[in-house]
Amino acid sequence: MKPIYKFLSMAMLFVAVTLASCEGEKDLVVIEGNLPIKTETLYMVGDATPAGWNIDAPTAFTPSQEDPLVFSYEGPLNTGELKCPLKTGNWGGVFVMPVNNGCKISKSGIDDTTFSLMPTGNPDNKWKVEDAGTYKLVFDLRNWTVSATYISE
C-alpha cells in the first residue's frame, strides 16, 4: 500500500473514532435564571454612602462567613443615591444596580429586592435613600437579591 493511502486510511479511522466518541456529548444543557456573581469584593459609592462618590476608596461590604457570595453592610446612610461597584478605581467597571432607577430605600425597607449587573454603568441606575439613618444592607449575589433594614436614626 502506498504511503499516502496508509495516511488517508489512518486519518479516516481517527475521524470515525473521534466522531463516535462524541456521540454521547450531544445533549444541550440549558441553564435558566441568573448564574451566581463570582466576586470577592463589593463596594458602594454615592452621596448616600460614607465615602461619597470616591471610586478609589468606596465603602466596602463584608462577605458572610457562611456564604462568600452574600455581602452585608451595617452603618450610616445619608439621603441621596448609591450604586455598587465590584472593584475600586474604575467608573467603567461592572456595577450592581437596581433594576429601576430611583428604587427607594427607606425606614420601611426597599421597594424592589432584585437587582441587575451592569457593565460600564449603562444605564446608570441608582438606589435612592429617602431616610437618613443606620441601615443593614444585604446583597445575595448567588440569588440576585438585596434587602435593606432600617435600624435607627
Pick the CATH number of 43-152 from 3.10.20.70, 2.30.30.700, 3.30.70.580, 2.60.40.3620: 2.60.40.3620
Distance CA 111, CA 103 (A): 6
The reported pTM is 0.78
| 87 pLDDT above the threshold of 80 | yes
Strand partners, 113: none
Mean pLDDT, the chain, rounded, equals 86
Question: Interior CA angle at 10 toward 5 and 15, to 5°?
Answer: 125
pLDDT digits (tens, 9 = 90+) for 108-133: 999 999 999 998 767 899 999 999 99
pLDDT digits (tens, 9 = 90+) for 71-83: 999 999 999 999 9
Strand partners, 137: 73, 148
Which pLDDT score, from 0 to 100, does residue 27 have? 67
Average pLDDT over residues 135-140: 98
Dihedral of alpha carbons 91, 94, 95, 100, sign: positive
| 28 pLDDT above the threshold of 70 | no
Distance CA 112, CA 105 (A): 9
Q: How would residue 97 be classed by pLDDT, with cut points 50, 70 and 90?
A: very high
Three-state SS at 66: coil
Q: How far is CA 152 from the centre of its chain?
A: 28
CB atoms within 10 A of CB 52: 15
Which pLDDT score, from 0 to 100, does residue 34 have? 76
Domain parsing of the chain, residue ranges:
43-152
Question: Helices then strands (H, E): number in the chain?
Answer: 1, 13
